[in-house]
Amino acid sequence: MKLAGVRAVLFDLDGTLADTAPDLARALNRVRAEQGLAPLPPAIARPYTSSGARGLLKAGFGIAPGSESYAALRDRFLDFYEEELCVETRLFDGIPELLAKITVRKLPWGIVTNKGKRFTEPLLRSLAVDHLAACVVSGDSTAHIKPHPAPLLLAASLLKLPPQNCIYIGDDLRDAQAARAAGMHFVAAGWGYHGEGGDPNTWDADAVLTHPQELMKLL
């Protein structure tokens, strides 16, 4: 199956382009240690990674943004994460080769993430892909975060392309919702975290991939 009219490829970051779960889990466990709690096994934290601080604090402390202690724990978690941003984080297997093939095809690619710019930009530098991305839209680049379409629409405008000529690849239900609302093609990253959205086969994706390089068959 080929997707018609694709002239650019946009990626979610956590759980799609890069496996950030180990470093985020370590930051969470540093907060738990301060609170006198035992470490949370990485396998338990991992599915919550795509939901960022909100998801990980839910996994680690059973709290939501409205909770009294949420803001203080969130700030502590983010400070710890910033200190050790790219210790174990790696691009997923197959992503470097996929980016090379996209480049050979002369398709621009970019990143749209709910992660704040404070983390996104240094992380992409550490992964040595910051200079390759045609656009990077972080969680504070617009007034809204995914599932709102604003970040994806900003990415399309930065690429000077209509949204319908872009494909977005993500591992969370919110990624699918944002892509549909923006009028973009959506492909689910079957190798990702999937989080609270459950089974990506239920997300109305154009395709669910098991490996990054399968994307080339769609372009």
Catalytic residue among 12, 23, 171, 172: 12
- pLDDT score for 132: 96
- pLDDT score for 196: 75
pLDDT digits (tens, 9 = 90+) for 24-45: 999 999 999 999 999 999 899 9
Based on the residue annotation, tell me whether 206 is a catalytic residue of this protein.
no
Q: Is a pLDDT exceeding 80 seen at residue 8?
A: yes
C-beta separation of 89 from 127 below 8 A: yes
d(CA 80, CA 31): 8
d(CA 94, CA 161): 26
d(CA 182, CA 177): 9
Please name the residue ranges forming H helices in 42-129: 42-45, 52-61, 70-83, 95-104, 117-126
Of the options 1.20.1050.10, 3.40.50.720, 3.30.43.10, 3.40.50.1000, the CATH number for the domain spanning 8-19+89-218: 3.40.50.1000
d(CA 89, CA 106): 27
Q: Is a pLDDT exceeding 80 seen at residue 214?
A: yes
pLDDT digits (tens, 9 = 90+) for 146-205: 999 999 999 999 999 999 999 999 999 999 999 999 999 999 999 999 987 789 999 999
- pLDDT score for 198: 84
Pick from 213, 20, 10, 36: which is nearest to 109 by CA? Answer: 10
Indicate the pLDDT class of residue 106, thresholds 50, 70 and 90. very high
Q: Token pair of 62, please? A: 């059973």
- pLDDT score for 195: 82
Q: Residue by residue, what is the 3-state secondary structure of 115-170?
A: CCHHHHHHHHHHCCCCCCCCEEECCCCCCCCCCCCHHHHHHHHHCCCCHHHEEEEE
Residue at token pair 């599915």: 47
Catalytic residue among 14, 23, 172, 175: 14
* Residue 14 amino acid letter: D
Based on the residue annotation, tell me whether 14 is a catalytic residue of this protein.
yes
What average pLDDT does the chain have? 96
d(CA 123, CA 117): 10
Number of Cβ within a 10 Å radius of residue 34 = 11
Pick from 126, 30, 125, 37: which is nearest to 79 by CA? Answer: 30
- What is the percentage of the chain residues whose pLDDT exceeds 90? 95
